[in-house]
Amino acid sequence: MKDKTIIESAYKYAKEQYTALGVNTDEALKKLDQIKISLHCWQSDDVGGFETPDAELGGGGIQVTGNYPGKAKTIEQLRADIEKVMSLLPGKQRLNLHAIYGDFKGEKVDRDQIEVRHFQSWIDWAKKLGIGIDFNPTCFSHPYADDGFTLSSKNETYRKFWIEHVKRTRKIAAEMGKQLGTPSVNNIWVPDGSKDIPVDRNTHRSLLKKSLDEIFEIEYPKEYLKDSVESKLFGIGSESMVVGSHEFYMGYAVKNNKLLCLDTGHFHPTEQVGDKISSMLQFIDELLLHVSRGVRWDSDHVVIFNDEIQLIAQEIVRANVLDKINVGLDYFDGSLNRIGAYVVGTRAAQLAFLFALLEPTKKLKEYEEAGKNFERLAFLELMKTKPFGAVYDYYCLINNVPVGEDYVADIQKYESDVISKRKS
Ligand code: RNT
Ligand code: ZN
Query: Tens of pLDDT along 74-104?
Result: 999 999 999 999 999 999 999 999 999 999 9
- Told to judge if 330 belongs to the known catalytic residues of this protein, a careful annotator would answer yes
pLDDT at 348: 98
Cβ pair 188, 166 in contact under 8 A: yes
How confident is residue 424, by pLDDT bands cut at 50, 70 and 90?
Answer: low
SS3 of residue 17 by DSSP? helix
Residues of the chain above pLDDT 70, percent: 97
Per-residue pLDDT tens over the stretch 305-315: 999 999 999 99
What would the mean pLDDT of 117-124 be, rounded to a whole number? 98
pLDDT at 60: 52
SS3 of residue 241 by DSSP? strand
**Among 143, 259, 159, 176, CA closest to 215:** 159
pLDDT surpassing 90 at residue 387: yes
* Cα–Cα distance, 148 to 290 (Å, whole number): 23
Distance 203 CA to ligand 1 centre (A): 24
Q: 263 CB less than 6 Å from ligand 1?
A: yes
Nearest-CA residue for ligand 1 atom 10 is 330
H helices present in 181-326, as ranges: 201-215, 246-256, 273-280, 307-318
Cβ pair 139, 93 in contact under 8 A: no
In a domain, 300, yes or no: yes
pLDDT surpassing 60 at residue 56: no
Distance 91 CA to ligand 1 centre (A): 25
SS3 of residue 402 by DSSP? coil
Atom of ligand 1 nearest to the CA of 292: 8
Chain centroid to CA 378: how far? 33
Predicted model pTM? 0.97
| Total number of domains in the chain | 1
Q: 232 CB less than 6 Å from ligand 1?
A: yes
What would the mean pLDDT of 346-357 be, rounded to a whole number? 98
Atom of ligand 1 nearest to the CA of 42: 6
Identify residue 386 by its one-letter amino acid code. Answer: K
pLDDT at 64: 87
In a domain, 7, yes or no: no
pLDDT at 299: 65
Cβ pair 251, 241 in contact under 8 A: no
What CATH number is given to the structural domain containing 216?
Answer: 3.20.20.150
In a domain, 2, yes or no: no
- Told to judge if 300 belongs to the known catalytic residues of this protein, a careful annotator would answer yes
In a domain, 277, yes or no: yes
As a dihedral over the C-alpha atoms of residue 315, residue 316, residue 321, residue 322, rounded to 10 degrees, the angle is -170
- Told to judge if 230 belongs to the known catalytic residues of this protein, a careful annotator would answer yes
In a domain, 412, yes or no: yes
Per-residue pLDDT tens over the stretch 237-261: 999 999 999 999 999 999 999 999 9
Residue 28 belongs to what domain range? 13-421
* Cα–Cα distance, 413 to 419 (Å, whole number): 9
* Cα–Cα distance, 326 to 261 (Å, whole number): 9
pLDDT at 300: 84
In a domain, 190, yes or no: yes
Q: Choosing from 45, 227, 330, 410, which is the catalytic residue?
A: 330
Q: 11 CB less than 6 Å from ligand 1?
A: no
In a domain, 222, yes or no: yes
What would the mean pLDDT of 118-132 be, rounded to a whole number? 98
In a domain, 4, yes or no: no
What would the mean pLDDT of 40-49 be, rounded to a whole number? 95
